[in-house]
Chain A
Amino acid sequence: MIKSRTFFPLRISAVYVISRRANAMFALLPFLIFLAVFALYPLYELIKMSFMETAIFDGEFFSEFNGLDNFKKITTDPLAVNSIKVTLLFSALCVSLTLFFGILGAILVQRSVIFKHFARNIFIWPAVIAPVVVSMMWLLILDPTVGFLNKLFLFLGRDPQIWLDSKMGAFISVVVVDVWHWTPVVFLFFYAAMSGINQEIIEAARVDGASERKIFGNIILPILFPTIALVATLRVIMTIKAFDEMYLLTKGGPDNATSIISLHIRRIFVEILDYGYASALSFSIVFVLALIVSIFYFFRKKRVRE
């Protein structure tokens, strides 16, 4: 800090500050244009469309203002309510399971001697494979005839199952696929966080006679708490954004048991072609998420200040 004071005259030169600011804005400009065209404008169109009744005749769009009708539709659409329920249940299950397995995996790999290096490298694999390919891979596991699971069942002399055809089976399957796909990312976070823990603290506790369980519960877990909060938030966002697995494995079925919100919006937009309603539903989701994230930011800022 002291050293940079030798450049003091340079810093206060008005010409320099103005030119630096001009350069700063110039360098940010492409990004701002991108955001304006591909984020702000679509958002504006979304809001506009959510107050309109849009119809297509001969490939032309005809729109008419219809007030809050589209938003009222959400409450009377049983499939929308269902998709919100499915999304929340999916999110709750996937977030808690990936956190559990991710933390467990990080602890195990930390303690491991034989597989440490090997496991660290291989556990990344699912996370880098495309969700579409992951879904395809699991279809090859769960398929009633060619699926690995049923072949294994037959090989072991048990009856084959039809995994994706029952409501429960399909829902559990997409949860399993999501957990398989994203536990690695959670694992990496916690592995990094645990590698950062000072081993001397744990050694000291051990010398004082603390049990392994006590060490984990009273020392490691509190240190990991910020990481848990961060990863949980990320995972909630990821599960609400989920689309590919359901779209490919179950198409939302059977009987809408796996029809999460993204899938429902896509259906309204692409199949039912009710643009106004699709926009109103989209806008409501965006609004609720923005609200949640703002509250989260607000509290975090407050906590940091205190």
Chain B
Amino acid sequence: MTSVIHKKRPKIYFGTETCILLALVITVTPILWTVILAFMPNKSIINSSFEFSFWLENFRAITKPGQQFTRQIINSVIITFGTVLLTLAIGAGSGYSLSKLKPPKLFTIPTFILASFLPIVPPITLVPGLYVVFTNLNLLGSLTGLILINTVFNLPFAILMIKLYFDQIPEELREAALIDGATERRIFLSVLLPLAKPGLGAVAIYVAIMAWNEFLIGLILTTGGDSAPLTVGIAGLVQDYQILFGEMSAAGFVAAIPIVVLTAFVSRQIVTGLTAGAVRS
């Protein structure tokens, strides 16, 4: 008890706190400004001085029946869920295999080279080739195609993460189940996979953010409009000759706020994902 009482109080450095406050302001200003504009009519946005109001017409305008925006949100949701599910389905098996089943070197080394090459190259350099593949498989402009590509780009990192999680689970568990006569499939599905759930959760969150934010592939492999994801839709609003700033901000708000709110709840998993995930990107 005494040690607690006598423990020196942490010293407050005012210079430090001021610098952080400044950094916080710089971090938050662009986000906050977009949120403010999303709730303002174009008339007051264009006004050269600061003028604030609160109205919801911008949101009503972008979600009007006949607008592509609603369709694009649905597309993005489908792409995100599809990518997460497919990545986890393929990644869990592969990560488990690499961690516990010791596949032959002849098999893993080419996989490793290809998988580490994928995150390094700019996606645009693969586009000419991917375009040919998509044309051959008749996937151009389809959501299935975008789900597949997003999955490919996220798999190397997802598998690495899942492997690391399985590495933490002691080998003895697997051996005990083997001795009890369980098949490999049974061990994977009923013993080890449930134990890796937190890891799979972190991977799912990270992949979801990546898929939701993806832009370049969606831009080039769809024709825009009803087949495009939300990010491509927003880019279209940015590049309109006559930008409707209010509606554009509202669209950005819809795309960004769910992720920011999600961050507040699962920031620990996101930090794991980002710091490990940056190894990948």
**A contact residues vs B (CB 8 Å cutoff):** 3-4, 7, 10, 16, 19-21, 23-25, 27-28, 30-32, 34-35, 37-46, 49, 105, 108-109, 111-115, 118-119, 121-141, 143, 145-146, 148, 150-151, 154-155, 160, 180, 184-185, 188-189, 192, 230-231, 234, 237-238, 240-241, 243-244, 247-248, 261-262, 265-266, 269-270, 275, 278-279, 282-283, 285-286, 289-290, 293
Q: A115-B21, A136-B252, A261-B122 are in contact. Are A7 and B175 (CB under 8 A)?
A: yes
Q: Is the CB of A140 within 8 A of B120?
A: no
Q: Is the CB of B215 within 8 A of A39?
A: no
Q: Is the CB of B16 within 8 A of A136?
A: no
Which A residue's beta carbon lies closest to that of B260? A125
Which B residue's beta carbon lies closest to that of A231? B278
CA distance A28 to B90 in the complex (A): 8
Q: Is the CB of B17 within 8 A of A114?
A: yes
Q: Is the CB of A241 within 8 A of B123?
A: yes
Contact of A130 among B103, B215, B237 (CB under 8 A): B215
CA distance A40 to B278 in the complex (A): 23
Q: Is the CB of B46 within 8 A of A243?
A: no
Which A residue's beta carbon lies closest to that of B234? A132
CA distance A213 to B224 in the complex (A): 54
24 CB < 8 A contacts A-B: A10-B175, A24-B101, A24-B104, A27-B93, A32-B111, A34-B152, A35-B115, A38-B130, A38-B148, A39-B152, A111-B16, A121-B263, A122-B28, A124-B267, A128-B209, A128-B274, A129-B260, A132-B231, A136-B252, A140-B33, A180-B26, A237-B120, A247-B235, A286-B125
State how many angstroms separate the Cβ of A291 from the closest Cβ of chain B.
11
Give B132-184 interface residues, CB cut-off 8 Å to A.
132-133, 148-149, 151-152, 155, 159, 171-172, 175, 178-179, 184
Mask of B191-232 contacts with A, CB within 8 angstroms, 1/0 = 000000000000000000100110110011000000000011
Q: Is the CB of B129 within 8 A of A46?
A: yes
Q: A27-B94, A28-B103 are in contact. Are A140 and B133 (CB under 8 A)?
A: no
The SS class assigned to the B binding surface is helix
